[in-house]
Amino acid sequence: MAGTDPIHQFVIQDIFSLFTVGGDGTEGSGLHFAFTNSALFMVATVAIISLYLVLSTGSKSLIPNRAQLLSELVYEFVANMVRSAAGTAGMKFFPLVFSLFTFIFVANMLGMVPYFFTVTSHIIITFALSMLVFLTVVIYGFAKNGPKFLKLFVPAGVPGYILPIVAPIEFISFMSRPISLSVRLFGNILAGHITLKVFTGFIVTMSSLGFLGILGSALPLIMAIALTGLEFLVGAVQAYVFAVLTCMYLNDAIHPSH
Amino acid sequence: MVTQANAQEAAAPADTTHAAPAVDATHADPTADTHATTEAHGGGHESGVFPPFDPATFPSQLLWLAITFGALYLVMSKIALPRIGGILENRKAIIDADLAAADAARQKTDAAIAAYEAALAAAKAKAQGIANQTRETIQADLASKRSSVEADLTAKVTAAEARILATKTEALTHVDEIATETAQTVVTQLVGDVSTDSVRAAVAKAKE
């Protein structure tokens, strides 16, 4: 039954325990730290990105080979994204956006491999990443602009008597950014993987119902194949969306007046 | 219970009775299917909670996210991105330099062509000048030679004419003498001696 349980793929298992902070020593108390399957895939994600980018650019060829060309294309892609959304001043956040984009992208792609764990299917991961962006925006925004950063909530050209309505809306929309950013990524990946698992589960369930069931299981099979392609697309698009929104939020920190 | 077993497993990965507690757990609680399944795979710190919302897993996830993402950020910002940026800048610089060199070479070519054409025009002009000069020299030479020859000829003609005139004049003076002598002879034959002077005077008289 475990093979068709759509939730099972999100279970986090300890590979080995590290330490427990606080608690009374009994099981389940305190903060338990462990090297989990999630951690394993985070390490794998970072290792893949780092090794690929470092090794493919090792020769520093003037005329790139294929591996180096891919690295350069990703670099140019993210660099153009940052430059167009946040301007040249935003390029100081280029490593952050590049890390976010590649991390989410590779984690999503790894998650598409059967039996692999999807790091981004956990709300705490996406929320941590979006809080990283949010705090970067707030801290840098105040450090660079001081109180002028609050002009972010006062759109230029709005008459004074509307401001009591507009400013709270702007404030709420600003404060809800980390939630929308994290839930968008988490929800897309989680829902996609559950749907995929449910349809592939149908194949198994129907196949066990005899000859007609095997024939009928072609329908969820087709669906599963289509969903697999869609999930690759969603994984790539969500990484892109996360990076683009990060750039736009950073732009607010750099140029707070609308 | 099961979690306890898993912790023991984690501590001793080589444990050959790996699946045994899980199987036991499944059999022990067959009614709660999902619950048992989750347990059987040994993951849930708190079975029954939807895994992504299980707070017991948050510390580990946050810890490893911080470690891995921090490492990724460091590797990207310190090694990979400066290197790729360097490659791209280096390439751009080389392309720009090559383009500039090509432009400079083209300008040099243009200058060389212009210089060549100027030199050619100058040489042409010079050649024409020399040709003109030579022609003028030759013409002047010719003209002077012709004029000298003409002057010579004129002088010769003049001299000849003068000589002819002199000869004629001389001849004419001889006519008187011949006439005198002839008349003297004729008269002598006819009349006898007569003085030369009287004959001459007679001749001169006859001529008038």
The amino acid occupying position B12 is A
pLDDT for B73 beyond 50: yes
Instruction: Encode pLDDT of B153-175 as tens digits.
Output: 999 999 999 999 999 888 888 88
Residues of B in contact with A96 (CB under 8 A): 73
pLDDT at site B52:
85
DSSP conformation letters of chain A: -GGG-TTGGG---EEEEEEEESS-SSTT-SEEEEEEHHHHHHHHHHHHHHHHHHHHTTT--SS--HHHHHHHHHHHHHHHHHHHHHTGGGGGGHHHHHHHHHHHHHHHHHHTSTT---GGGSHHHHHHHHHHHHHHHHHHHHHHHGGGGGGGGS-TT--TTTHHHHHHHHHHHHHTHHHHHHHHHHHHHHHHHHHHHHHHHHHHHHHTT-HHHHHHTHHHHHHHHHHHHHHHHHHHHHHHHHHHHHHHHHHHHHS---
pLDDT at site A3:
58
pLDDT at site A26:
66
pLDDT for A62 beyond 50: yes
The answer to whether the CB of A20 falls within 8 A of the CB of A30 is yes
Interchain proximity A103–B61, CB inside 8 Å: no
Instruction: Encode pLDDT of A38-51 as tens digits.
Output: 999 999 999 999 99
Instruction: Encode pLDDT of B13-42 as tens digits.
Output: 444 444 444 444 444 444 444 443 434 344
Q: Mean pLDDT score of chain A, rounded to an integer?
A: 89
Q: What percent of chain A has pLDDT over 90?
A: 58
Interchain proximity B81–A98, CB inside 8 Å: yes
pLDDT for A156 beyond 50: yes
Selecting from A7, A57, A186 the residue whose C-beta is nearest the C-beta of B84 gives A57
Torsion angle of the four alpha carbons A54, A55, A59, A63, in this order, in degrees rounded to the nearest 10? -90
Instruction: Give the number of domains in chain A.
Output: 1
Is the ipTM higher than 0.85? The answer is: yes
Which residue range forms the structural domain that includes residue A173?
Answer: 2-254
